[in-house]
Structure 1
Amino acid sequence: MTHFVLVPGAFLGAWAWDEVAARLRAAGDEAHPLTLSGLAEKAGVPAGQQTHVRDVVAEVERLGVRDVVLVGHSYSGIPVGQAAERLGDRLARVVYVDASVPFTGESFLSGWDSDHVRAAIEANAGVWPPLGADDCVGQDLTDEQIAGVLARATAHPGATLTEPAELEGSAGDLPSTYIKCLLDGDAPPPAVAELLKGDTWELVEMDTGHWPMFSRPAELARILRASVAAHQGV
């Protein structure tokens, strides 16, 4: 039995993992979806990036388990990758789902044309407003799914996006799986491609969009389980 801690990306809460979590549990594993501070039912809670790192570490400590697999989608790869380093031998694996990866001194907004995000944060009292329906087009989501996601999405705390990551080593030092969703670009970012050259990282591709927990939950659950089994000799 594997303990998966499932961390959603920007604008989302633990609810985003409902379908994936149900499939993991049906297969005999434990799934622990986590809402980060300032989002969903925790909206309004002040949060910086290190708040989110502590959220993830605290959840593992609350569970009191070992051999944990941390799963981070999109933005949450940044706090998940930092939290993974702090778990030491309690960590079994990190899985980045079409996610950003932390690098010391760099923020979520580093390395891409993010001026529009920074401007939106400044214009909206320090939060990043949720995306619109147009941002979800071409990502393998039905109109009903898009409407459902947008109805539950919440603004994202801006400081978590602009503050730099803090690592003692490198995310490349930890056993990791990177899931690339091909409708959101056909290759991982260059910095992630470099990490994938190492012995501890592996790449898995999904022919779907940026939110596979909605578009392909059964396939994503199978990949999560397989990423662990392959490295346990099961």
Structure 2
Amino acid sequence: MTAYVLVPGAFTGGWVWEQVAARLREAGAEAYPVTLTGMGERRDEAGPGTGPETHAEDLLRVIDAIADPRIVLVGHGYGLHPVLAAADRRPGRVARIVSVDTALPQDDEAAERSLPDPEARERLADGAGDGGWLSPPEPGGWPRWGSTEGVPAGSLERLERLAVPQPARTLTQPLRLTGPAAALPTTGVLCTANGSSIDLVEMLVESGPPQFRALADERMRFFELGTGHWPMLSAPEELAEVLRAAAAGEGHRVAAPGRAPGPERPAHLLPFLLDVPEVPRERHGRIDLHLPDTERPRPAVVFVHGGPVAPDQRPTPRDTPFLLGYGRYAAALGAVGVTLDHRMHGLADYPRAAEDLAEAVALVRAHPRVDGERIALWFFSTGGLLTADWLAAPPPWLRCLAASYPALAPLPGWAGVEPRFRPVDAVGTAGGPPVVLIRAGREHPAFAATVEEFLTAAGTKGAAVEVVDVPHGHHSFELVDPTDESRAAVERAMRSVLTHLGNAASPDGDR
């Protein structure tokens, strides 16, 4: 006999699991949908001290009352935090942890860090307001918390009607783990309409920081469901089948990368592939200006990182060897190299990142060391979606756009990205500056598909695009493939960008 303990996410109660629980019981299992203290019908039970430990204790009482020898703990969204805390305290009772469309949090991590809605994070940072409670989304606002694709209208109406405020401390206090939960078999249920997929996991294992290699561990398994973030409402029968398969140890195992993993350092902290000299650097708010050896106003190249980036990541992108290298390289060739920290902490943050970029460019153009009529923007990876605004309404001073291994349309399932951020639709619609596109030959398929779609659209509309190929390069090839081929590609791309800026390689050059 297997017993499933089903733990809901923020603002909800055990009622969201009713259909899944019914199907599990029909198949002969036990199912225990849990409503945590202060949630659902237990809203009035919360007090000033209600936090993650309160919810962990809720689950421990459920676990201790179950006689079945095999317990599968299932967490959705915020619910995964108390699931891990309870498993950490009762590892001998837990046969498997199942994460439903939710990244596994780490020890000392608060749930607020992974909230998909930036406005909610701001309200929590401001003290949550409303007496220590975080209000649920307004009607129509639920997609900001995860795709509602597939949820029937009646179920969505019920979700909006029954949602209750979340005790703020449950989101702001960090998770405390001692280690046993990390050794338990774990299954990830990935909802492709919300942007999760096995392909994405494989990309993180191959190209991401070393911590993601744990996803290729023997204890990890994965399933995909072709629905949004609420499969218990949109696909309860399919989810119940997946939970049964997960309990049996089935699922896809992600293979460890076939190529050498390289130094045991996060990829973004690996050294830049070119040996470039240090140059004077000025810091102004979110930007740094790397200055060439001349007092005359010079053109500028603004380097725009991808993401999402955790809000507490240190060093921030502009202080990594990667962006420091690019900024110094531009300055060494006579341009002002500008590096930027923008606030893309989740898929819903593209508008905020776009605002940060626009503000940064305005500040750069006003700087006395910058020729404000000669600006280039250079985007990396998922930052490529930010090119859409500049392609749709290019200002006359924007002389060039560059994009390295970019996403040029939202990746499959990225429903949380606003429709405006689709460079494949914007290219060629308003004339605009030439584009230098640096393409990795061993790119991840999801990224490569958007690049090909972009090139097709550019060809149809007559947009000027120069492609710089790195045939043997992977995503982030400057860091993971520091080869002569990669160095030559970076040098060629930089020369092309500076040529569009007008003889930038010579500090005394003319326009």
Indicate whether the TM-score tops 0.5. Answer: yes
Map 1:8-47; keep pairs closer than 5 Å.
Answer: 8-44=8-44, 45-46=46-47, 47=50
Offset at 1:140? 1.8
Q: Does 1:205 align with 2:224?
A: yes
Letter of the structure 2 residue corresponding to residue 14 of structure 1: G
- What are the ranges of 5 or more consecutive residues in structure 1 without an aligned counterpart? none
C-alpha spacing 1:113/1:15, structure 2 compared with 1 (3 Å): closer
Structure possessing the higher relative contact order (Cα contacts under 8 Å, 6 or more residues apart): 1
Instruction: Tell me if structure 1 keeps the 8 A contact 2:101–2:196.
Output: no
How far, CA to CA, are the matches of 1:15 and 1:38 in structure 2?
Answer: 14
Map 1:152-171; keep pairs closer than 5 Å.
Answer: 152-169=162-179, 171=181
SS in 2 for 1:230: coil
Letter of the structure 2 residue corresponding to residue 165 of structure 1: L
Q: Does 1:150 align with 2:157?
A: no
How far, CA to CA, are the matches of 2:77 and 2:110 in structure 1?
Answer: 13
- What are the ranges of 5 or more consecutive residues in structure 2 without an aligned counterpart? 251-511
Offset at 1:76? 0.7
| Stretch of structure 1 that moved more, 169-178 or 131-140 | 131-140
Query: Structure 1, residues 119-174: CA drift from partner, whole Å, max 9, x if none?
Result: 43422221111123232365222322211111111111110111111111164321
Query: Structure 1, residues 175-217: CA drift from partner, whole Å, max 9, x if none?
Result: 0001111111134685885432111111111110000000000
Under a length normalisation based on structure 1, what TM-score does the superposition of the two structures give? Answer: 0.90
Letter of the structure 2 residue corresponding to residue 125 of structure 1: G
Map 1:180-199; keep pairs closer than 5 Å.
Answer: 180-187=190-197, 193-199=212-218
How far, CA to CA, are the matches of 2:110 and 2:92 in structure 1?
Answer: 26
Offset at 1:99? 2.0
How far, CA to CA, are the matches of 1:20 and 1:49 in structure 2?
Answer: 25
Structure index of larger Rg:
2
How far, CA to CA, are the matches of 1:41 and 1:87 in structure 2?
Answer: 27
Letter of the structure 1 residue corresponding to residue 3 of structure 2: H
Equivalent residue in structure 2 for 1:68, among 68, 71, 77: 71
Map 1:71-110; keep pairs closer than 5 Å.
Answer: 71-110=74-113
Instruction: Tell me if structure 1 keeps the 8 A contact 2:95–2:184.
Output: no
Considering only aligned residues, what root-mean-square deviation do their CA atoms show, in Å?
A: 2.2
Equivalent residue in structure 1 for 2:129, among 99, 123, 126: 123
Instruction: Tell me if structure 2 keeps the 8 A contact 1:85–1:174.
Output: no
Offset at 1:100? 4.0
| Stretch of structure 1 that moved more, 166-175 or 14-23 | 166-175
Letter of the structure 1 residue corresponding to residue 54 of structure 2: T
Q: Does 1:173 align with 2:153?
A: no
C-alpha spacing 1:198/1:159, structure 2 compared with 1 (3 Å): same
Aligned residue for 2:406?
A: none
Under a length normalisation based on structure 2, what TM-score does the superposition of the two structures give? Answer: 0.43
Q: Percent identity?
A: 36
SS in 1 for 2:65: helix
SS in 2 for 1:20: helix
Aligned residue for 1:219?
A: 238
Q: Does 1:54 align with 2:57?
A: yes
Query: Structure 1, residues 68-127: CA drift from partner, whole Å, max 9, x if none?
Result: 100001111111012112112111100010124231111112256765224434222211
| Stretch of structure 1 that moved more, 213-222 or 51-60 | 51-60
Q: How many residues align?
A: 231
SS in 1 for 2:9: coil
Letter of the structure 2 residue corresponding to residue 135 of structure 1: W
